[in-house]
Every structure is written in structure tokens, then in C-alpha cells.
Amino acid sequence: MIAKYRKQFNEEFSAEKYQHILDGFKKQTGTAPLFRVSESPIFLTTEFVDKLHTACEDIITQVIDMSPEELDAAIPDNCRVPNDTLKPHFFTIDFGICKSENGEIVPQLIELQAFPTLYAFQKELQIAFTEEYPFLKPLQSPKSNEQYYQELKDLIVGDENPENVILMEIYPDEQKTNIDFYLTSQKIGINVVCLTKVKKEGRKLFYEKDGRKIEVKRIYNRVIFDEIDKMPDLKTEFDFREDVDVKWITHPNWFFKISKYILPKLDHQYVPKSYFLSDFPATESLENFVLKPLFSFAGSGVNLTPTPSDIEKIEDRENYILQRKVVYAPLFEDIKGEFSKAEIRLLYIWKEDQDRPQLMEHLVRMTKAAMVNVDFNKKDAIWIGGSTAFTEHNP
């Protein structure tokens, strides 16, 4: 949305530079990203970024003011994990970039989560763009790369020896986000371990490396707990619901507590009205709302055009919300003169001794389809996929 940077980027863009960015990741980690990376970043005005940050601070305050009992009610009984924490270690907030009725560019809240995402990849993607397009360097985040990874390491590793801390996922090498696992491992020195490889002895957990049995004292958890139940043949030695002697980063309960579950409880001009499906009032029109499962991930199960017959088929209505539709604005021009829409996720970390989370980075997803998911785009589309944001900084 900063015209001069969009113009300069589009003039300097080449397919060779884009491929060089992807090849750089493969050289760095041994694999190219398994998800689509957009050819372009987006350029946000300071005015719009201020709206984003102000909205986030208000939303965070509302979450802080919620009682533990109110948040605990979100956790399904069969997914409750012992030794919960007072706050999550990660906090992300997603906004659609939209246009209001009077033509103003505004953020509209889509969802929020207390679950880690591509913290390492997003930092490296910013670096890759600035190396390929040097004019972007003054627009980079003012937080240095060294400071960024030190703060991430302090959160995840803490005072432990890094070898006693693992990034845990189910079959991590097969996950679309595996590149972020490898980058995290490189940057903060922890090992990536499959859940199926974790051993349990009493209340202690272990993994093996180079023939050694190593105790796990902290888990940087990338497993979405309720996905485990969808894999009946998965063989593991410990159940998340067991009381084990380990520190969760972040605790699995927060996946449920900070989720679409709290959207109906939030009130802000940039928060579209939401209702639990079981509480949807007769005064509202269904055609103005999107139907979403409470705990879906990556947009799965979202119905953009729910009908009364769709609603009638749902028995567990307390596990769905209806969220007022927002219209993403096609603002980001590509080299063909076509325009993409975008969603932006603000990535926070929340240290246990801090009252509020701190912003680390931005994650952008670009699309030309109705949903922000590259699977819904035409195969030859460009300016779609995961990206990053640059903005001018106040002096």
C-alpha cells in the first residue's frame, strides 16, 4: 500500500531473484519450503500498522481481563493436559486487510491463537528479501537478527541445556512447515524429535541421539493435540494427558483457550461480530456470516456460504461459531497488473515474567481466491502464498 515501494519492487522483480530466494532456503536447510512462498512482500503504511498494533493491544487487554475459569471452559475434557501455565508462551493474531464502506483501509480480526507458528522462517524470509532487494533494508524490523533469536532462545530454552529441549511434532519431516523446524534447530540449537520417538520412564521423558539417551526437560510443542485422535494407528509411549516431569512451551491447553472460542467475547471496531452457533440470534441474517469450527487449523472446515440445511446437520453447535463476513481488499498489484488480497498475522511471544506479550514479527498470506489458502487459487497465479510485510519506521 506504499505506492513507491510497490512500483520499485515490481520494476526490480525477476523470476530468477524469486528462485534464488527459494534455492537459498534449500541450501540453508536441505529443503525448499513445502508451502508456496509469494514472489512479493507487501508494503504497509505506518498509519495502517498503527491501526493493527492498537487493535492488538486492546484485544490483548480484553484477553488478560478474562478469568482463568472463563478460558478453561474452552478445553474439551478429553484434551485437558496437567500442569497448565498462567499464560501462553506464544500469541498470534490474524487480520484480513480490508476496505471499509467509506474506502478506508482497515484490519478486520479473523482469529487468534496461542500456538507457535513460523517464527524462524518469517525472520529468514525477511532477510532473504532484503538480500535480494537491497532497497528494502531500511524497511526491515528494527529488532536485529541476533536479538530476535536470542529472545526466542530465552523463551524456548530458558536456563536448560539446549540438548534437553526438543521441538516436538508428529512425523516432522513430513509436515508442510518442516523448514521452520530445521531453521529453529539451527538458530537456537535444539533437536527436532518426532512424538513417536519420545521415550517415557516413570514421569520422565527421553529421546535418543548418537546412541545416547537424553532427558527431555522442555518441549517446544508443535503438535496440535486434537489431531492425535485422528491418527488411531499412531504408536507413542506417553499420552499428553499424563502428568510428566516436563515444561511445555507452550502448554497444549492454550491451543483451546485462545482460539475462535473467545471471538464472541471480544468487542472492538476491528473485530467482526461473532456468535456461538448455539446462540445465533434470529435477528441476524445467516447470509452475512461465515461458519467456522472452533478448533480447526489452516482454514479446514470453514464454510463461507452456510445455509440453513448446513446448520441443521450440526449436532454439536457449541463447537462452531458464526463470524460476520469481511471483504478482503485487492490492494497488492503484481507485475501483470492483477491484484492480490492479504491476511496478516502478528507474532508475539509472552515471557512468564511479563504482564503482556511482545511483538516479534509479521506473517503474511496472499491470495487471489475467496479464501486465504493457495489451494483455492489458479495454478498459474502469482503474488500468492506465504510472505512478509515491510513498513516505514517512525524516526
pLDDT of amino acid 377: 63
Assign 93 to helix, strand or coil. Answer: strand
345: CB partners within 8 A, 6+ apart? 92, 93, 94, 95, 117, 362, 363, 364, 365
H/E stretch holding 251 reads none
Q: Which cell numbers hold the place of 134? A: 537491497
User: What are residue 311's phi and psi, to 5 degrees?
Assistant: -65, -40
**Is 67 in the same domain as 115?**
yes
Is residue 86 located within the same domain as residue 226? Answer: yes
Q: Are residues 300 and 238 in the same domain?
A: no
Q: Of 185-189, 254-258, 280-284, 370-374, give the lowest mean pLDDT range.
A: 370-374
Greater pLDDT, 13 or 241: 13
My answer on whether 143 and 259 are in the same domain is: yes
Q: Residue written as cell 478506508? A: 104
In this structure, are 355 and 378 located in the same domain?
A: yes
Position of cell 482469529?
111
pLDDT band for position 60 (cuts 50, 70, 90): very high
Which of 325, 342, 361 finishes a domain?
325
On whether both 206 and 77 belong to a single domain, the answer is yes
Q: Check: pTM over 0.75? Answer yes or no.
A: yes
CA gap 41, 384 in Å, rounded: 10
- In this prediction, what percent of the chain has a pLDDT beyond 90? 82
- Between CA 262 and CA 70 the distance in angstroms is 9
**Claim to verify: residue 282 and residue 143 sit in the same structural domain:** no
Segment 334-349 mean pLDDT: 96
* In the predicted structure, residue 394 carries a pLDDT above the cut 60: no
- Which of 309, 325, 341 is a domain's end point? 325
CA-to-CA distance for 197 and 203, rounded, in angstroms? 16
Q: Could you say which DSSP state residue 309 is in?
A: H
pLDDT at 375 over 90: no
Cell of 195: 512424538
Express each pLDDT in 196-250 by its tens digit.
Answer: 999 999 999 999 999 999 999 999 999 987 778 778 889 999 988 999 999 999 9
* Domain region containing 278: 273-325
Confidence of residue 371 (pLDDT cuts 50, 70, 90): low
Rounded Cα distance between 99 and 85, Å, is 38
Q: Is 265 exposed, middle or buried (0-12, 13-18, 19+ CB in 10 A)?
A: middle
Number of structural domains (the chain) is 2
**Which amino acid appears at position 163 of this protein?**
E
Q: Based on the domain organization, do 221 and 288 belong to the same domain?
A: no
> What's the pLDDT score for residue 379?
72
Is residue 247 within 8 Å of residue 239, measured between CB atoms? no
Residues 6 or more apart from 194 whose CB is under 8 A from it? 168, 169, 170, 171, 172
How many Cα atoms are found within 13 Å in the side-chain-facing hemisphere of 115?
22
The 10s digit of each residue's pLDDT in 276-332 is 999 999 899 999 999 998 876 555 678 989 999 999 989 888 889 999 999 899 999
pLDDT of residue 376: 56
At residue 176, the 3 state secondary structure works out as coil
Residues 272, 323: Cα–Cα separation, whole Å: 7
Could you tell me if 299 and 209 lie in one domain?
A: no
Residues 202 and 218 in one domain: yes
What cell numbers appear for 366 in the block? 496472499
Instruction: Report the SS3 class of residue 51.
Output: helix
* 330 and 296 in a common domain: no
